[in-house]
Amino acid sequence: MHTDLSQIVAEKMQTFPVEKQRKVLEFVESIEQIEEPKRQTLLDKLEAISKRVPDEVWEKLPVDGAENLDRYLYGAPAKQSLL
């Protein structure tokens, strides 16, 4: 498909006057200069979000959150901490 597209563009370019061909070439060269933005990973996004949370908020979170998840979500009885 890439070759077909290149061929179509080349054929159309041949019908243009030289000045338009130069403009198209300048446009293509300008596109080559544009850098693609770096895609962020999920971890990058989570780190960015966590940095916006103040330390005071992190300090208020329970240290046994994973162990007692049902307690915090549904009000189930607390499990004994192994720590």
- Give pLDDT tens digits for 33-82: 888 888 889 999 999 999 999 999 999 888 887 888 888 889 888 887 66
* 22-28 average pLDDT score: 92
CB-CB contact of 65 with 72 (8 Å): yes
Burial (Cβ within 10 Å: 0-12, 13-18, ≥19) of residue 71:
middle
Q: Is the pTM of this model over 0.75?
A: no
Q: Is 35 exposed, middle or buried (0-12, 13-18, 19+ CB in 10 A)?
A: exposed
Q: Could you tell me if 68 and 78 are in contact, meaning their C-beta atoms sit under 8 angstroms apart? A: yes
Which among 16, 11, 36 has a CA at the least distance from the CA of 26? 16
